[in-house]
Amino acid sequence: MSRRNIFKILFPFLVLALLMGCATQKASPVEAPPPPPVEEMKKAPEVEQKILEKGRATLNVEFDFNKSVVKPKYYKDIQSVAEVMKKYPDLKIVIEGHTDNVGGKKYNLNLSQKRAEAIKKVMVTKFNIKPSRLTAKGFGSSKPIEHNSTEEGRQKNRRVEVAIDNPI
């Protein structure tokens, strides 16, 4: 066999060895660095997503009949709105208070205003949101989301919603 034939046979192997960096050095096992961990895309918190996409969100804050006291068990939901406001410092919101239909219109309007102001107070005192970024407005029983014919429906109507006061 001639040198030329040997070269033709060995040439592809030499090229492969050069490409792999093994021609002049002894091959040593090289460990490739591990791939970066796959980071799960985190969903925007539900309240933030609703506020940004729909311009409003209903807080999971319900009131006892004829009351405007915010129970501590609802602070977490209020905090989620406060966190959105901290993330978007130019955001202003309207806190909308609602009642069921038990009682007179004027009375319910006043009660719903007190409920909205109670949420505002929690946002200011507990979560350090500037009062100038919050507007409390009572709607009374004018915007029910459930039938007022059952206790469950009336409970759902005693609620507070937040709405964007200015586009961000």
Q: What is the pLDDT of residues 139-160, one digit of tens each?
A: 999 999 999 999 999 988 888 9
Q: Does residue 73 carry a pLDDT above 70?
A: yes
pLDDT above 90: residue 127: yes
Q: What is the pTM of this model?
A: 0.69
- The closest alpha carbon to 160, from 89, 70, 91, 73, belongs to 70
- CB atoms inside a 10 Å sphere around CB 18: 11
Question: Which is it for strands 93-97 and 56-58: parallel, antiparallel or unpaired?
Answer: unpaired
Query: What CATH topology corresponds to 46-164?
Result: 60s Ribosomal Protein L30; Chain: A; (3.30.1330)
Enumerate the domain spans of the chain.
46-164
In whole angstroms, give the CA distance from residue 129 to residue 148: 34
Q: Which pLDDT belongs to residue 11?
A: 65
In DSSP terms, which residues pair with 84 in a beta bridge? none
Identify the pLDDT of residue 36. 64
Give the rounded percent of residues in the chain with a pLDDT score beyond 70.
75
Bridge partners of residue 161, in order along the sequence = 58, 96
Q: Backbone phi, then psi, for 57, in 5-degree steps?
A: -155, 145
- Check: CB of residue 52 under 8 Å from CB of residue 44: yes
